[in-house]
Amino acid sequence: MPEQAHLHSFLPLKPQWFHILLSLAGEEQHGYGIMQEVLQRTTGQVRLWPATLYGSLKRLIEADLIEESHDRPAPELDDARRRYYRLTPLGRKVLDAECERLQELVRAIQSKRAMVTE
């Protein structure tokens, strides 16, 4: 399957997948960090409950969009039970494609609103 078609087979992303991938776009994070970052970024509008988060993480790994990272912070800054996750190259491409898709929707909305107000 050509890469572009493969990328678009993931779109539109499930909202929880989008928020998880976006959380991992800047840095590797553990599950609780992802939950907190999504909550903060969305000003409480999106809350990833543990069952949703960890089920999504499992499916994102199976889809090769994220992977578990073996890089660890210094032991005094870390909890050995935490698992850290990062985007795979495919995950970054899928996130980029979804961001472009969403930007196109916003442009269409803005264009439509401009026509209505003229």
The 3-class secondary structure across 72-115, one letter per residue, is: CCCHHHCCCCCCEEEECHHHHHHHHHHHHHHHHHHHHHHHHHHH
Number of domains in the chain: 1
Helix, strand, coil percent values for the chain (each to nearest 5) = 60, 10, 30
| Of 73 and 52, the one with more pLDDT | 52
> What is the per-residue pLDDT across 58-96, written as a single tens digit (0 to 9) for each?
999 999 999 999 876 655 666 667 899 999 999 999 999
Confidence band, pLDDT 50/70/90 cuts, at residue 118: low
The whole-model pTM stands at: 0.86
Provide the CATH number for the domain around residue 71: 1.10.10.10
Helices (H) and strands (E) in the chain, counts: 5, 3
> By residue range, what is the domain housing residue 96?
3-117
